[in-house]
Amino acid sequence: MNRSYRCGARTRSGEPCQSPPVRGKRRCRMHGGAAGSGAPIGNKNALRHGRYSADAIARRRQMSELIRRARATLAEIEERTE
């Protein structure tokens, strides 16, 4: 048992963990060997939402220009009716 592989993760005291690893893993149950521990597969934080893509920016510019023209047209119509 003394020669068997150990977890080796650093504990709070700074010493390597002496617990045996979980079967099939390199770390013990406390340091990431347990099922479901660790980061999820794939980086979901890096998924892009597309708000700043070239298409989205162009679409927003078109909408802004359309709104600007509509307001100018409404202002022109109001001037004529007064």
Q: Both 55 and 33 in a single domain?
A: no
User: Do both 29 and 60 map to the same domain?
Assistant: no
pTM: 0.43
Report the pLDDT value the prediction gives residue 48, as an integer from 0 to 100. Answer: 76
46 within a domain of the structure (yes/no): no
- Taking only the tens place, the pLDDT of each residue in 31-66 is 887 887 766 677 777 777 888 889 999 999 999 999
How many domains does the structure of the chain reveal?
2
Q: Is 76 helix (H, G, I), strand (E, B) or coil?
A: helix
pLDDT, position 2: 67
Separation of alpha carbons 32 and 7, rounded Å: 10
Measured between alpha carbons, how far is 47 from 42 in angstroms, rounded to an integer? 10
Question: What's the CA gap between 30 and 17, in Å, rounded?
Answer: 10
- Residue 31 shares a structural domain with residue 63: no
Domain limits at 68?
51-81
**CA pair distance 31, 48, nearest whole angstrom:** 31
Q: Spell out the long-range contacts of 11-19 with Cβ–Cβ below 8 A and sequence spacing 24 or more.
A: none
Residue 63 in domain: yes
